[in-house]
């Protein structure tokens, strides 16, 4: 149902609105204007969008758990036990039994000593970086890291060294060049003055959200260790999906002696629960000391209302399903293979702009078109055919690399993927040299 717009011509535009309207007009002219589409009903591979039925290829609900009846039932049970809101931040009176159970289950699953819940991945990344780093510290970050890692890093005031995407030599240079006396405690930002020397933190997405490629975790982990730096991985798109047991991108780099990879194991592991778990929120996994420190110092944790207990109950049930039903990951991988094979047969180039190959494990598959207007025109044409594929433009991706971002889910059927391939062909993408 649409609301009638208020007649605004009779109202005097304020100075603020005039300024904003100028900027909005600029975005429109550059084909960078964004709108939301209204979904009716549950999230899934079939959805009703703006009043039309379509197949959804732009969801991060990779395992199809966002509308799983068992997850919804767990949430309903917790809702009837606990009501809706948690009522306060976790440090005041908002830390329910459901939150604690989820933290314990996630710690057990990830193999880390402790886990801390946040309301979102955004809050987790900003909270961790701002909480851990101050102006005397150095952050060494992949240039294509998620926006929340960039903002968190900036907010911390730490020296920010941006490294070319997946460039191991670049990380090495940054680490070699950034060594300092370790005495920089004067200007301590978030930390108490005098508590510790300066720190260097390497931070990367595990799976890059718009490219679908993997961070070189083994190398980054070795480099970090070699240079005495800490390693943080944001595995929003890997957790639940990658690895034989769904433990994420770290499970793709296993060590021989342990269930959870120790050489490749980051000091700080962040994952979200709004993607493969079909719930909401995020968690940080790490050592006892890390979690205790974040409880004291992560502002987005300390000064924010705890997530609803029902959301924690939903995530806990989703985690149980992740562990109990590896066939979901197998189906996802089969779907990825069908799509990648079909696209190759049609001569459609799938994958990040700078890499030749695509990962057989990752659910994110971009088709780089380049021009923003053309990308959005193809996305609209696909939607008219009943296929919902997001067009991604700057500033989410670099200028000139606008793309369709296709995501596959365990719940897609073979016929859905074939319909997508047919539609991509019908929209003129087959056999074309797309990228500039």
Ligand X SMILES: *Cc1c(COP(=O)(O)O)cnc(C)c1O
Residues that bind ligand X (CB under 6 A): 120-122, 125, 146, 148, 205, 209, 234, 236-237, 272, 274, 282
User: Distance from CA of residue 390 to its chain's centroid?
Assistant: 16
> Residue 64 or 121: which CB sits closer to ligand X?
121
> Residue 90 or 236: which CB sits closer to ligand X?
236
Least spacing, CB of residue 148 vs ligand X, in Å: 5
With left for phi above 0 and alpha for psi between -120 and 50, is residue 33 left, alpha or beta? beta
Least spacing, CB of residue 390 vs ligand X, in Å: 13
Least spacing, CB of residue 255 vs ligand X, in Å: 24
Least spacing, CB of residue 433 vs ligand X, in Å: 29
C-alpha to C-alpha distance for 387 and 46, rounded to whole angstroms: 9
Catalytic pick among 146, 237, 365, 412? 237
Handedness of CA 284, 289, 292, 294 (dihedral sign): negative
Active site residue 304: no
Look at the block and give the residue holding tokens 């007649």.
7
Least spacing, CB of residue 364 vs ligand X, in Å: 9
Nearest to 409 by CA among 344, 364, 368: 364
Least spacing, CB of residue 121 vs ligand X, in Å: 2
Q: Which residue's CB comes closest to ligand X?
A: 121
C-alpha to C-alpha distance for 398 and 354, rounded to whole angstroms: 12
Active site residue 275: yes
Catalytic pick among 275, 365, 412, 416? 275
Active site residue 165: no
> Residue 148 or 198: which CB sits closer to ligand X?
148
230-234 vs 268-272, strand pairing mode: parallel
- Pair 124, 106: CB distance under 8 Å: no
> Residue 307 or 342: which CB sits closer to ligand X?
307
Q: What is the dihedral of CA 207, 45, 55, 339, to 10 degrees?
A: 50
C-alpha to C-alpha distance for 58 and 407, rounded to whole angstroms: 5
State phi, psi for 299 to the nearest 5 degrees: -65, -35
C-alpha to C-alpha distance for 103 and 101, rounded to whole angstroms: 6
Q: Which residues contact 123 (CB under 8 A, 6 or more apart)?
A: 282, 300, 301, 304
> Residue 148 or 402: which CB sits closer to ligand X?
148
> Residue 408 or 423: which CB sits closer to ligand X?
408
Catalytic pick among 209, 224, 276, 402? 209
Residues classed as catalytic: 209, 237, 275
């Amino acid at each position: 149902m649409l609301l009638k717009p208020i007649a605004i011509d009779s109202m005097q535009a304020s100075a603020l609105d005039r300024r904003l309207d100028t900027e909005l007009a600029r975005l429109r002219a550059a084909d960078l204007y964004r709108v939301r589409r209204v979904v009716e009903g549950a999230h899934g591979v079939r959805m009703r969008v703006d009043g039309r039925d379509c197949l959804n290829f732009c969801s991060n609900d990779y395992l199809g758990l966002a509308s799983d009846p068992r997850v919804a039932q767990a949430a309903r049970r917790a809702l009837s036990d606990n009501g809706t809101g948690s009522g306060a931040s976790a440090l005041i009176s908002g830390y329910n039994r459901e939150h604690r159970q989820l933290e314990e289950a996630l710690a057990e699953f990830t193999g880390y000593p402790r886990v801390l819940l946040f309301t979102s991945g955004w809050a987790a990344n900003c909270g961790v970086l701002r909480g851990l780093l101050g102006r005397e510290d150095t952050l060494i970050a992949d240039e294509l890291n998620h926006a929340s890692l960039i903002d968190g890093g900036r907010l911390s005031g730490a020296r920010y060294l941006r490294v070319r995407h997946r460039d191991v030599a670049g990380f090495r240079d940054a680490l070699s060049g950034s060594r300092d006396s370790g005495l920089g405690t004067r200007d301590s930002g978030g930390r108490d003055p005098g508590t510790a020397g300066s720190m260097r933190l390497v931070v990367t997405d595990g799976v890059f959200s718009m490219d679908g490629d993997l961070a070189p975790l083994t190398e980054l982990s070795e480099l970090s260790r070699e240079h005495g730096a800490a390693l943080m991985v944001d595995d929003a798109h890997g957790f639940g999906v990658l690895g034989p047991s769904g433990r994420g991108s770290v499970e793709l780099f296993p060590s021989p002696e342990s269930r959870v990879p120790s050489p490749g194991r980051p000091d700080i592991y962040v994952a979200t629960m709004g993607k493969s778990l079909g719930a909401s929120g995020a968690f940080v996994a790490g050592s006892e000391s890390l979690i205790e420190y974040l409880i004291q110092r992560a502002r987005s944790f300390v000064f924010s209302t705890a997530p609803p207990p029902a959301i924690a109950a939903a995530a806990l049930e989703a985690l149980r399903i992740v562990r109990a039903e590896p066939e979901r990951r197998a189906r996802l991988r089969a779907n990825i293979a069908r799509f990648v094979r079909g696209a190759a047969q049609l001569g459609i180039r799938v994958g990040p702009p700078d890499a030749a190959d695509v990962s057989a494990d990752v659910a994110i598959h971009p088709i780089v078109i380049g021009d923003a207007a053309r990308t959005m025109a193809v996305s609209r044409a696909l939607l008219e055919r009943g296929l919902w594929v997001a067009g991604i433009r700057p500033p989410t991706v670099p200028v000139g690399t606008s793309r369709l971002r296709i995501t596959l889910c365990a719940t897609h059927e073979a016929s859905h993927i074939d319909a997508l391939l047919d539609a991509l062909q019908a929209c003129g993408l087959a056999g074309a040299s797309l990228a500039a």
